[in-house]
């Protein structure tokens, strides 16, 4: 969902890329699906409480209706060769979408403008260091992601506030 949300946000200019990254960070920390949380926040930013209700309903209702209508057929045909082949083709596409979202988030979070007109960008080594440490902590040492989020926010307050 993130690439689709990103595309719509960029198309309509509802919020900036930096705000989108902040929304993703907040949505990752709160319970619920990231797409729903992001839609709720963007809806609120653009249309207040009514905007958040409309955006949340608009993002959740189509999926709900599709899943409910397909669940009947899924139970009857989930082992059918056409269904298994279809899902075998969908899995790499999902991986590609996740990769595209990761690249977008990584570029926005790890690169900073170095010229006043923001035409030149460079790696922010502090951000890269935080990202690498979090990756190693979660992947190699199995540290709970919640702890890394809290620690990263404290480190961010310490090194980016001054």
Domain-wise residue ranges, the chain: 2-123
Instruction: Give the tokens for residue 28.
Output: 């990752």
Q: Higher-confidence residue: 30 or 50?
A: 50
DSSP SS3 for 118: coil
- Angle, vertex CA 56, rays to CA 74 and CA 59, nearest 5: 40
pLDDT band, very low/low/confident/very high, at 154 (cuts 50, 70, 90): very high
Express each pLDDT in 38-72 by its tens digit. Answer: 888 889 988 999 999 999 999 999 989 999 998 88
44-58, 76-90, 107-121 — which is least confidently predicted? 107-121
Residue 19: burial class (beta carbons within 10 Å; 0-12, 13-18, 19+): middle
Q: What CA–CA distances, in Å, run from 41 to 14, 74, 152?
A: 11, 33, 22
CB 29 within 8 A of CB 149: yes
Number of alpha carbons in the 13 Å side-chain half-sphere of residue 58: 12
Confidence (pTM): 0.60
Q: Using alpha carbons, select from 7, 30, 27 the residue that is nearest to residue 17.
A: 7
Query: CA-to-CA distance for 145 and 138, rounded, in angstroms?
Result: 6
CB 138 within 8 A of CB 147: no
Query: CA-to-CA distance for 20 and 96, rounded, in angstroms?
Result: 20
Instruction: Give the tokens for residue 72.
Output: 């009947």
């Amino acid at each position: 969902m993130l690439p689709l949300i990103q595309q719509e946000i960029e198309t309509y200019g509802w919020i900036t890329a930096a705000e989108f990254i902040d929304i993703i960070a907040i949505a990752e920390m709160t319970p619920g699906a990231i797409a729903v949380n992001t839609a709720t926040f963007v809806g609120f930013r653009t249309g207040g409480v009514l905007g958040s209700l409309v955006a949340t309903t608009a993002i959740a209702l189509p999926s709900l209706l599709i899943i409910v209508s397909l669940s009947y057929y899924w139970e009857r045909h989930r082992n059918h060769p056409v269904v298994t082949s279809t899902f075998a083709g969908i899995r790499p596409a999902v991986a590609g979408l996740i990769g595209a979202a990761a690249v977008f988030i990584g570029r926005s979070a790890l690169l900073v403008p170095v010229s006043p007109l923001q035409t030149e960008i460079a790696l922010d080594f502090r951000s890269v260091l935080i990202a690498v440490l979090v990756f190693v902590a979660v992947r190699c040492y199995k540290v709970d992601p919640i702890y890394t989020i809290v620690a990263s926010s404290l480190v961010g307050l310490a090194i980016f506030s001054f």
